[in-house]
Amino acid sequence: MHKHQLSALTIATILIFSVLPLVEAGQIRRADIFADQDIAGVEFVAQRWTTIDYSSGGKIKDILKGVNERYVLKANESTPDIHVLKEAINRALIKANSPAKVKEVKELTYTVALRDDNGVKAMLDQTVNLKVILTDIVMQEAVYQQPALMDLNWRGFKIDERVPLTFSTDGDTITLDVNSVRGYFDARYPEVSSILSRDSNIANIINEPLINFEEIGKLPITQWHKLINPNASMEEAQRRFGLKAEAPAVTVVSAGEGSLREGIHKEKELSATANIDGSTYRIDTRDPAIAATLDIYYWAEPIRDEHGDAARVYLQPPQELLQQAATGNFPLMVLLVFAGMMGAIAGFVIWRANKS
């Protein structure tokens, strides 16, 4: 292959892969919001990757040697202690200055995998997928041509307490706290939790709440990207959350793509090293960058005021009041897609020219 061909294809490859997400971000994967019914179906996803380095040896290495396990645990309204989760979320919503409440937990799926990497380190992957129905989101109902005023502070809640749930698995049950690294070790390897907790810095990390969407809430809703879709389908909301509604338009509000003004949202990383009982341990955790998509049925205008983040929702088209996202806030991911396409085209042109 000629040098020009290789250079062009390399550039095209880099540009094309630059538009692909590296991880499935900690996020609001989807929210279907109906101001006219004072209800929202929301799918939250929280993820964390944890590495415990015990390459210098020690008791934890001995305990976790050869471990390779994975669990997928589910809970819903029929789970006996689901009220623990609902009450924890409602307390977190109050702290987030939101009037919203959990009406129903459609499903919580807790996926966790722990693997020993050749006696050098342990790798723990945790994902909480939480589908809930929220109510009491409307602070002021729509009257005549006046819009409804709807709270959006709920999107940035954080549960800063233990959330112990009992799951059925393989004909047995397991009770564990789904809201931290420590919760899993307490249930499966309590001695590991005990050892790591002897250092305050490491203890803080393993106790750090997993169900935490504060970073989403920190980005003002007025800086999110907005698109009004007059041809949206209601079928997805019904399939995901059992919500039935008709609306002539949907306002899609999203964050996480990044923009030339805001830059790229970063992952959250924590680390600590400690000598415990003569052995050195290092722990690293990584939570993905934010990403969120809200589908607000009817015409919505995101606002920020003394309450925090909210939206005016018009049940009739407000004509001049709503605007599409400004070009100055054009999503960076879209620009990268165009760049990738241009790079691919350039590579193809150079290849054809050299071939000729």
pLDDT band per the 50, 70, 90 thresholds, residue 301: very high
Dig out the tokens for 41 from the structure.
Answer: 């179906």
CA distance from start to end of the chain: 14
Q: Is the pLDDT of residue 260 over 80?
A: no
Please state, in angstroms and as integers, the Cα–Cα distance from residue 200 to each residue in 63, 138, 209, 272, following that order.
21, 42, 16, 10
pTM beyond 0.85? no
CB 32 within 8 A of CB 297: yes
| 53-57, 71-75, 139-143, 319-323: the lowest-pLDDT one | 319-323
CB 88 within 8 A of CB 161: yes
pLDDT confidence of residue 194: 97
Mean pLDDT of 67-78: 96
Give the whole-angstrom CA distance, residue 136 versus residue 116: 46
Mean pLDDT of 74-81: 94
Q: Is the pLDDT of residue 111 over 90?
A: yes
Locus of tokens 């396409």:
341
- For residue 30, the enclosing domain spans 3-355
Concatenate the DSSP letters of all residues of 206-236 into one string.
HTS-SSB-HHHHHS-GGGSEEEEETT--SHH
pLDDT confidence of residue 12: 37
Give the whole-angstrom CA distance, residue 169 versus residue 72: 9
pLDDT band per the 50, 70, 90 thresholds, residue 94: very high
pLDDT confidence of residue 216: 93
Query: Which runs of consecutive H residues, i.e. helices, occur in 223-307?
Result: 235-241
CB 309 within 8 A of CB 153: yes
pLDDT confidence of residue 344: 59
pLDDT band per the 50, 70, 90 thresholds, residue 137: very high
Q: Is the pLDDT of residue 200 over 60?
A: yes
Q: Is the pLDDT of residue 324 over 50?
A: no
Give the whole-angstrom CA distance, residue 166 versus residue 177: 9
Into how many domains does the chain fold? Answer: 1
Tell me the pLDDT tens digit for each residue of 207-256.
999 999 999 999 999 999 998 876 655 566 555 666 666 778 889 999 87
User: Average model confidence (pLDDT) for the chain?
Assistant: 83
pLDDT confidence of residue 6: 37
pLDDT band per the 50, 70, 90 thresholds, residue 258: low
More confident site: 354 or 162:
162
Give the whole-angstrom CA distance, residue 17 versus residue 348: 17
Mean pLDDT of 326-354: 52
Dig out the tokens for 337 from the structure.
Answer: 């897609």
Closest CA to 3 of 145, 300, 11: 11
Mean pLDDT of 146-161: 96
pLDDT confidence of residue 325: 39
Segment holding 238, helix H or strand E: helix 235-241
